[in-house]
Homo-oligomer: A and B are copies of this chain.
Amino acid sequence: MKIAILGGTGSIGEGFALRWAAKHEILVCSREIDKAVNAAGEYTGMLLNKGVVCCGITGCNNEAAIEDSDVVVLSVPYQGVISLLKKLAPFFKNQIVISLVVPMKKNKLFEYTPPKQGSAALEIQEILSKSVKVVSAYHNVSAKKLANLELALDYDVVVCGDDNEAKKTVMELTREIKSLRPLDGGGLASSYMIESLTPFLINLAIRNGLSDLGVKFV
């Protein structure tokens, strides 16, 4: 598959590029094409150093990458993603869009601040055409651990989506990342639950002197 990673030069974007590059073609996207091209080169080098043969990691602008891809990963903070998608909406057709977006604000601690639609995933589905299949996942995966290829991620990833085929594809992509277990979280209407876990986990980490918390259902 061709996977475009919006915000692909950021830390969580880097992790996905590195983890999926052995099996998929990766398009690293950024508003600044130079940054995207540099990051793509850097990731290719990192994988070569580890003896991993890539299917190809390319730096792209957002528009071209979206048009050319099967899957688009939104690894962009909530604050920027809505206006960005409103501009980019015409370039989508029938891609699977993976939202790891969490609307939250920081007071003393972090607080989940969903939009009126109920969750970021539902708001994003509203912006994009109905043929685009939004799937909500990976909100609670540590960027640092994801980017560390030696690390098995003994986490669960709850995947929500209204299109069953798209959800299955994302669950399969999840299984390709060492030790991650995908769990079916139901439709997009349930996405608020996994989105709201993120500020909860960050607060829990702060209060208990922990870091990079993920979640496992046992």
Contacts and interface: CB of A to CB of B under 8 A. Distances in A.
Given A109-B186, A186-B109, A217 B193 contact: no
Contacts of A176: none
Q: How many copies does the complex hold?
A: 2
Contacts of A214: 217-218
Contacts of A217: 201, 204, 210, 213-216
A214 to B, nearest CB: 6
Interface of A: 109, 154-155, 158, 183-186, 190, 193, 196, 200-201, 203-204, 207-208, 210, 213-218
A133 to B, nearest CB: 19
Nearest to A212: B218
Contacts of A155: 218
Given A155-B218, A196-B193, A218-B155, A184 B213 contact: no
A142 to B, nearest CB: 10
A168 to B, nearest CB: 13
A16 B127 CA distance: 49
A214 B82 CA distance: 34
A201 B184 CA distance: 11
A206 B213 CA distance: 25
A201 B193 CA distance: 11
A144 B40 CA distance: 51
Contacts of A207: 183-186
A208 B184 contact: yes
A183 B204 CA distance: 7
A177 B185 CA distance: 30
A144 to B, nearest CB: 14
A184 B215 CA distance: 16
25 contacts: A109-B186, A154-B218, A155-B218, A183-B204, A183-B207, A183-B208, A184-B204, A185-B203, A185-B204, A185-B207, A186-B207, A190-B200, A190-B203, A193-B196, A193-B200, A201-B217, A204-B217, A213-B217, A213-B218, A214-B217, A215-B215, A215-B216, A215-B217, A216-B216, A216-B218
